[in-house]
Amino acid sequence: MLTVLAAMQNEADTLLAQANIHREYALFGKKIWEGQAFGEDFTLILTGIGKTNAAAACMLALARGAERLLNIGVAGGLTPVAKIGSLLQIDRAVQFDFDLSEINGTEIGTLDEYSTPYFPLRTGGSFVRGTLATSDSFASGNDDEALLRRLGADVRDMEGAAIAHIAYAAKTPCFMFKTISDNAGEGSVREYRENLKIALQTLQDDMRQIWEAARNG
């Protein structure tokens, strides 16, 4: 069965608005819905914001028998392919706030048990694709600009790479889609507040295409 992971209620609502929900409950502090959308049964878990929340929810999904994972949400754009209001399919993700470089001499984002900072994600369909960088902060400055450019990041968020990490370790197919709410950097907080509804509407409007990719990819 497909399990969908969303950090915030308004992100989850983009799917719930198009689904028939059979059951709603909470487990280990996570809200969970079970239902059907676009002809397929699914489970939706509200992860909460941040990498620990996301990883915990992903482990919960896997422990409950998830066969495929789908992460949906909004994110900040970093490059011209990630315009406000657009949808990106994420093909790889990196935790850019994880750093063992002084100990191991590895690139920032590389966990001790891996040789690359990037976690690959399953892709499918005709979508613009990009690299996601994840950290446990919503930053409105440009302090990370050089690092993000070096890592080839197109988008940044606070959950995606943690989900990608768990899915990769579990050898479970994981699809990830982000709609762009702001241009990360100076002014991002203002842009986020101004454009969040636009990004959420894109996510809702494109949900059927997202669903087909996760079903057939």
| CATH number of the domain encompassing residue 188 | 3.40.50.1580
Contact assessment for residue 74 and residue 183, using Cβ atoms and an 8 Å cutoff: no
Under the banding of pLDDT at 50, 70 and 90, the label for residue 186 is confident
- Per-residue pLDDT of 151-174, as tens digits, reads 999 999 999 999 999 999 999 999
What's the predicted TM-score (pTM) here? 0.95
H or E element, residue 70: strand 68-77
- Domain total for the chain? 1
What's the distance, Cα to Cα, between the start and end of the chain in Å? 14
Contact assessment for residue 178 and residue 74, using Cβ atoms and an 8 Å cutoff: yes
Range of the domain at 47: 2-216
- Per-residue pLDDT of 14-69, as tens digits, reads 999 999 999 999 999 999 999 999 999 999 999 999 999 999 999 999 999 999 99
CA dihedral defined by 118, 78, 71, 160, rounded to 10 degrees? 50
Place of tokens 């280990």: 28
